[in-house]
Homo-oligomer: A and B are copies of this chain.
Amino acid sequence: MRALVVEDEPRLATGLRSGLEAEGYAVDVALTGTDGLWLAREHGYDVVVLDLMLPEVDGFEICATLRAERVWTPILMLTARSADTDQVRALDTGADDYLTKPFSYAVLIARLRALVRRGAAERPCLLQVGALRLDPAARKAWLDETELVLTARELSLLEFLVRRSGQVVSKRTILEHVWDDAFDGDPNIVEVYIRRLRTKLGEQFITTLRGAGYRLASP
């Protein structure tokens, strides 16, 4: 579990770091609001501990900015003030929990666990074309309830075709998207992989359109 601590007071920051690390979290610390915002935005944390009083950018602003940018990482606010209005404002700004200093580590840890437990987890979507099903998150594919045994490349190619099922996709496009677009090897590789897919899921799914490309569709 990755946690970000945004806290300007060095002693508290290091205390939090070691405490959380002892609990098995991988911890990053930001000492300013600007750093914290940047880190939270760029890295996928599982939870953020955010001090309200910070130099440069305060906690409210960080929280609001993240939510506006559709970053839904659970946030726990931390502050010296205990005014109700702050608490209300924090929660309404998009924080998920709130703790006033001084606080006990046990409570902090328990609250973090509760947050991570609820954490932002989107259900993986399931792609389907006729009897063919594909779960991109699990990297699995099935044909009529029987799981297909595919290599990484084969599955990437299949996923690409399934996402564009019914459409014609040129070999050039496939090469650029499934392989690196800096790929400078033999373009014949696409044909080879189309062949492998056909042997594994039957000839009827992928049709060749001479001079144009391939189309995956329900037979």
Binding site for B on A (CB under 8 A): 1-2, 23-24, 26-28, 43-44, 46, 84-85, 87-88, 91-92, 95-97, 104, 106-107, 109-111, 113-114, 116-119, 121, 123-125, 136-139, 151-153, 155-156, 159-160, 166-168, 176-182, 209-212, 215
Contacts and interface: CB of A to CB of B under 8 A. Distances in A.
A27 B180 contact: yes
B28 A181 contact: yes
Given A91-B114, A125-B113, A177 B2 contact: yes
Contacts of A97: 97, 114
Contact of A121 (B28, B119, B138, B152): B119
A125 B119 CA distance: 12
A218 to B, nearest CB: 13
A51 B28 CA distance: 37
A151 B211 contact: yes
Contacts of A23: 139
Contact of A159 (B1, B124, B167): B1
25 contacts: A1-B177, A1-B178, A2-B177, A2-B181, A23-B139, A24-B139, A24-B156, A24-B159, A26-B176, A26-B179, A28-B181, A28-B182, A43-B176, A85-B106, A87-B110, A91-B114, A92-B114, A96-B114, A117-B136, A119-B121, A138-B167, A138-B168, A138-B215, A139-B168, A155-B212
Contact of A117 (B84, B125, B178): B125
Contacts of A88: 106-107, 109-110
Contacts of A177: 1-2, 26, 44, 46
A43 B167 contact: no
Contact of A137 (B113, B153, B155): B113
